Amino acid sequence: MGEQVKQKKNSKKQKRAVMRTAILAILVAAIGYTIYNSATAKDVSLLEVGDKAPDFALVDLEGNDHKLSDYEGQGVFLNFWGTWCKPCAKEMPAMDRQYEAFSNDGVQVLAVNIAQSDFEVQSFADQYGLSFPVVIDKTKSVMTAYNIRPLPTTVLVNPEGNIERIITGEMTEEDIEGFMEEIKPE
Amino acid sequence: MENLQCQCGHVNPPGTKLCESCGRSLTEKDQNSKLVDMRYEGTARRSQTYNKSIIDKIWNFFSSVKVGVSIIVVLLVAAAIGTILPQQAFVPATTETAIQEYYADTYGSIGRVYHFLGFHDLYSSYWFIALVGMLAISLVIASLDRFVPLYKSLKNQRVLRHPSFMDKQRIYAEGPGAEDTLQKAETKLKELKYNVRTDKNGLLAEKGRFSRWGPYVNHIGLIIFLFGVMLRMIPGFYIDESLWLREGETRAIPEVPGYYLESKNFELENYSGEGEEEVFGEALDRVGTVAKNYQTDVVLYQKPEDALPGADDSQEVVKEFPIRVNQPLKFDGYAIYQMDYRLDELKAMTFALTNKETEESLGELTIDLIDPEDIYELESGSTVELLGYYPDFSGFEDGEPQTATPLPNNPGFLVELTTPETPEGETSFITIQNTVEPLGENDYKLAFQSVETRDVSGLTVRKDSTLPILGLGGLIFMIGVAQGMYFNHRRFWIQQKADGTILLAGHTNKNWFGLKKDLDQVVEHASLPAYTDQQDEIDKAEKAEKEGEALS
């Protein structure tokens, strides 16, 4: 039994250890990745904070076009709502008041209605005396692009055009004020 | 563990049962048994040989077939438990908390535990995925540990084996032979499509070795299949969305950017039992209505690549297509299936402006419930002004009419009726079969005339880019099964001693009957000594012993 045999044996052992470690590592990594994907699958297509806000173009009740990218440099307070949704209706007057306060500071409010009729949206806007533009997403394409599930959902877009925050559910006036402060341009 | 040196001088790795070179049994147990265990050719399973580092220990754990089978059993039990309560997809709740509450409220503490452990969404629960992953690890490692030594052993097998190896084979013969016995046997075996190798005074005939790889090919197929399933979790590979589409509506298709779908018409057709279908009459009388066709006529639109969501850009018609059950609309890797329907949602209502006393009508108006107008002018000079519209009227709150949903399930209208006789206008709140006159008695009313309805199609949007991978995995799996099941690895060893005695041994991994049929032909042609099936003899002896016990 010379040194050579021993050396050969040792290198064989080493090779085996490397091989086994590599195979196990690959398999464990694949499983880990799968579990990670499954854990995040539910909101995987949902937008995340920091993402570029998908651009869209919608028409408001006065017939004006509103393109999200036109508001770059301003903060955009994007509120998805429907007339049947009570919390949506509740937060509207507060949003309107805060819009009055922040509109001169470069914060824009866009209220995106989900595919309702002009009549319903118009009478709602009249009833609440809304001063910010109200647009209607007739084909639910913006809703789909933003993957909006519960209403109301509010997406805060900062002056760079990125998503600053996503809020689902009703907001208090204090919340709204704080959020507008967040996306106010410097 | 120490290496094992055989009497023939060959050094075998620890754990070896039969000498790699000559075939002698190396353990006492094997030496004393009548037949040798030929599994994996008596080689050492690789993992048994070393057990030092933590990696080796993990490796050895997964190399065990017992562990693999245990994982499968646990998976089966888990899957069975997953069928006891409904999965979350079939539960009438959408948000995470609502689902949790549903299980707790409906099934009590059992439901709470069920939800806590992730059984409500079994295939996505992390421990289930981890178990499937462990099964994959077990498949890979157990296969490698068995395939590699077996492959080496079969590749390096020698023609001449020790007589003690041969007489422990199930098929064995010993007896006098002629001078040309070996040559004749070789000729016949070659005729039977055996690969024959000779060495000095012996020969080894072999056929169908590839059948031994069947289980490993099969496992490769399974691994590919599992890989495909894993890809489904990665965004973009697998889409399964539902879309409710009403007649006349155009909607963005969820998860399919740039495409829009319009429903022109939904149709539910039943068997009538008349005319050509008279043959079905009896069956229809027995079971009632039977659906013949569910169909949604759709138009698929595509917007230009740079078009923004919501923009009213020029959309192009891609396809008009009738979607029927099992005949999905296919485009660009996506498929849209007909899955569900709802008939007769309200679409428009027609009223007549009527004088309550004289029942005289001043004309009719139709209110589109999807897109109502502000004001309806009648020929008589009267007008009906819509003050409020509540598509799904659910009662009053602070004197304000409310709507529960945006769907016209129970439309309510607040209208002002103006006629030449009542120019100052009369206010009326109308719901189905009910009119309220909040500001005092009116002279006129809106009398309900007729209703238009529309149907709703429940469609499913699906894309599955993993199907080719799953198909490939399945195909390889089946090839492996066929390889292992329908082909046999047959071997014969024949030796002629100096005194002319013939030693003959035969082995196959399955189908001993086929092996014997081959051997019968060789025996006859080469006048080999008659062989015995030693397993049969052992069985017979055992049986006789048992009968003997029973008799005494």
Residue ranges of domains in chain A: 3-43, 57-183
Q: Tokens 């208090």, residue?
A: A172
Within 8 A of B133 by CB-CB distance, chain A residues are 27-28, 30-31, 34-35
pLDDT tens column, B229-257: 888 888 788 888 889 999 999 998 988 88
Please tell me if residue A163 touches chain B, with a CB cutoff of 8 Å: no
Q: What type of residue is B456?
A: V
CATH superfamily ID and name for A57-183: Glutaredoxin (3.40.30.10)
Task: Select the residue of A27, A37, A55 nearest B137 (Cβ to Cβ).
Answer: A27
The complex's ipTM works out to 0.78
- At A44 the pLDDT is 46
Closest Cα in chain A, distance from residue B452 (Å): 18
pLDDT tens column, B318-343: 999 999 999 999 999 899 999 999 99
Give me chain B's average pLDDT, please: 89
* CB atoms closer than 10 angstroms to residue B46: 21
Encode B365-382 in three state secondary structure: EEEECCCCCCEEECCCCC
Candidates B237, B158, B248, B201; CA nearest to A34 is B237
Candidates B420, B425, B403; CA nearest to B412 is B403
Which of B:266-325 have CB within 8 Å of A?
Answer: 308-312
Please tell me if residue A39 touches chain B, with a CB cutoff of 8 Å: yes
From start to end of B216-275, where are the E strands? 238-246, 250-252, 259-270
Please tell me if residue A55 touches chain B, with a CB cutoff of 8 Å: yes
B95 part of a folded domain: yes
Average of pLDDT values for B177-193? 91
Q: What is the pLDDT confidence band of residue B89, given thresholds at 50, 70 and 90?
A: confident
pLDDT tens column, B12-23: 888 888 888 888
State the burial class of residue B357 (Cβ atoms within 10 Å of its Cβ: 0-12, 13-18, 19+). exposed
- Domain membership of residue B475 as a residue range: 214-235+469-484
Same domain, B263 and B292: yes
Closest Cα in chain A, distance from residue B381 (Å): 23
Same domain, B439 and B510: no
Task: Select the residue of B144, B370, B403 nearest A83 (Cβ to Cβ).
Answer: B403
B114 part of a folded domain: yes
Q: What is the DSSP string of A13-52?
A: HHHHHHHHHHHHHHHHHHHHHHHHHHHTGGGSSS--TTSB
pLDDT tens column, A56-98: 999 999 989 999 999 989 999 999 999 999 999 999 999 999 9
Residue A34 has pLDDT above 70, yes or no: yes
Q: Strand B361-368 relative to strand B334-355: parallel, antiparallel, unpaired?
A: antiparallel
Least confident of A47-51, A133-137, B72-76, B523-527: A47-51
Same domain, B203 and B117: no
Q: Residue B203 is part of a domain; what is its CATH number?
A: 3.30.160.110
Q: What is the pLDDT confidence band of residue A29, given thresholds at 50, 70 and 90?
A: very high
Same domain, B515 and B449: no
Q: How many domains does chain B have?
A: 6
Same domain, B477 and B508: no
Same domain, B251 and B309: yes
CA distance A99 to A105: 10
Contact call for B406 and A27, based on CB within 8 A: no
Q: Please state, for a pLDDT cut of 90, what percent of chain B lies above it.
A: 56
pLDDT tens column, A118-133: 999 999 999 999 999 9
B552 vs B219, higher pLDDT: B219
Residues B113 and B41 sit within 8 Å (Cβ to Cβ): no
Same domain, B514 and B479: no
Which of B:47-76 have CB within 8 Å of A?
Answer: 50, 53, 55-56, 58-59
Average of pLDDT values for B366-375? 92
Within 8 A of B404 by CB-CB distance, chain A residues are 84
- At B480 the pLDDT is 96
Residue B423 has pLDDT above 70, yes or no: yes
Least confident of A8-17, A68-77, A145-154: A8-17
Q: Please state, for a pLDDT cut of 90, what percent of chain A lies above it.
A: 60
Closest Cα in chain A, distance from residue B478 (Å): 24
Contact call for A141 and B403, based on CB within 8 A: no
- Residue ending a domain, choose from B153, B169, B200: B153
Closest Cα in chain B, distance from residue A124 (Å): 9
Closest Cα in chain B, distance from residue A113 (Å): 11
Q: Which residue of B has its CA nearest to A43?
A: B235
Residues B218 and B452 sit within 8 Å (Cβ to Cβ): no
B185 part of a folded domain: yes
Q: What is the pLDDT confidence band of residue B274, given thresholds at 50, 70 and 90?
A: confident
Which of B:381-410 have CB within 8 Å of A?
Answer: 386-389, 391-392, 402-406
B552 part of a folded domain: no
